[in-house]
Amino acid sequence: MSDFEAKCDRLIDFIRGFPSCAVAFSAGVDSTVVAKAAQIALGDQAVAVTGVSASLAEGELDEAKRLAELIGIRHVTIDTREFDNPQYVQNSPDRCYHCKSELFQQIGHLAPELGVAVIFSGANADDLGDYRPGLQAAAEHHVRSPLAECGFTKDEVRLLAARWELPVWDKPAMPCLASRVAYGEEVWPERLEMIDRAEQFLRRQGLNTVRVRHHQGDLARLEVPAEDIERVCSKAFREPLVEHLKQLGFRFVTLDIEGFRSGSLNTLVPVEMLEAITKRSNIA
């Protein structure tokens, strides 16, 4: 038996160690694999829970519903109220902590009604070495992370998703829309809608991997794969793009010639904050 196959068996056995579970389900590849594993291991005793707010990109809720039906797992949605929290709105580098705290708290409140014993997240082993304030929130709410605890890397998660014929196996990462707003710039629903509509426009032009980062002064910093930079700079692409984004409310439109890279705004986080949160963040 290969190491990967052993991990797959360990994942199912790990989940079977609990009588029931709720999976924090975003429709990304990680949480979809956890939801599938939970359905295999626990059947009707597993439920997928999707948090709904203005930070959820257009189409992601419909995708979550479709995936849950495909997997065969019970699916519920909850309204999260992170925008009621001034610490979330002010958008300091630990914003994700406040967002995940709200999500896990809401799922926890619903747990008795759902009849679940534990909450699972989709964190994987690679996340443990990154700046992830949400891991601290998970630990504080006793959330378990089957993928991370069983040693699955991101690449292995995608491999397992492909093996289980889950259509999201090659889906680009789709973090919440608030992750596009530069730290220190307040997070408002209207601002996230601008970002979402801008990214939807770019995807309609065939750019599946894209980020529209919102910086001070309503400046849009576009990140696209390096191989697409020349196309985006062409007059035929650039002029309607700039016109559309300005219609959405952006005052300036820039292109980052370093290209797309996940979590690029983390370069703005002070080193001491990175170290402090990394020390506090751990898997339960």
Cβ-Cβ contacts under 8 Å for 226 (sequence gap 6 or more): 259, 260
Q: How far is CA 116 from the centre of its chain?
A: 23
Does a structural domain hold residue 215?
yes
Q: Give the model's pLDDT for residue 208.
A: 87
29 and 56 share one domain: yes
7 and 107 both lie in a single domain? yes
Q: What is the rounded CA–CA span in Å between residue 57 and residue 74?
A: 22
Domain presence at residue 271: no
Report if residue 82 sits inside a domain: yes
Closest CA to 265 of 229, 223, 228: 223
Same domain assignment for residues 7 and 50: yes
Single out the residue in 96, 128, 163 at which a domain terminates: 163
Q: Do residues 57 and 189 both lie within one domain?
A: no
Residue 273 lies in a domain: no
> For residue 193, what is the domain's CATH number?
3.30.70
Q: What is the pLDDT of residue 132?
A: 82
Total domains, the chain = 2
pLDDT at 266: 55
The first and second tokens of residue 26, run together, are: 């975003």
* Number of other residues whose CB lies within 10 A of the CB of residue 163: 13
Which residues touch 114 (CB under 8 Å, ≥6 apart)?
22, 47, 49, 76
Q: Which residue is it, tokens 């890279």?
A: 261
What is the predicted pLDDT for the residue at 232?
A: 96
159 and 78 assigned to the same domain: yes
pTM for this predicted structure: 0.89
Clarify whether residues 241 and 116 are in a common domain.
no
214 and 251 assigned to the same domain? yes
Show pLDDT as tens, one digit a residue, over the chain (284 residues): 688 999 999 999 999 999 999 999 999 999 999 999 999 999 999 999 999 999 999 999 999 999 999 999 999 999 999 999 999 999 999 999 999 999 999 999 999 999 999 999 999 999 887 778 889 999 999 999 999 999 999 999 999 999 999 999 999 888 899 999 999 999 999 999 999 999 999 999 999 899 999 999 999 999 999 999 999 999 999 999 999 999 999 999 999 999 987 655 655 555 455 455 455 444 44
Structure tokens at 205: 């032009």
Q: Do 195 and 158 lie in a common domain? A: no
Beta-carbon contacts of residue 284 (< 8 Å; ≥ 6 apart): 138, 139, 142, 143, 144, 145
Same-domain pairing of 96 and 183: no
**pLDDT at residue number 264:** 57
Residue at which a domain ends, from 105, 133, 163: 163
* Structural domain range at position 157: 3-163
Domain membership flag for residue 284: no
Which two tokens mark 224?
């696209």
155 located within any domain = yes
Maximum distance among all Cα pairs of the chain, rounded to whole angstroms: 59
Q: What is the DSSP string of 227-273?
A: GGHHHHHSHHHHHHHHHHHHHHT-SEEEE-TT---TTGGGGGS-HHH
For residue 265, the model assigns a pLDDT of: 62
Report residue 216 as tokens.
Answer: 């001070």
171: in domain = no
109 within a domain of the structure (yes/no)? yes
Residue found by looking up tokens 């979590």 in the block: 263
Q: Is the domain of 52 the same as that of 122?
A: yes
Give me the pLDDT at residue 128, please: 85
**Would you say 135 and 127 are in contact if contact means Cβ atoms under 8 Å apart?**
yes
Q: Do 156 and 187 reside in the same domain of the chain?
A: no
Residues 142 and 94 in one domain: yes
Domain containing residue 36: CATH number: 3.40.50.620
Residue 284 has a pLDDT of: 42
User: Which residue carries 């599946």 as its tokens?
Assistant: 208
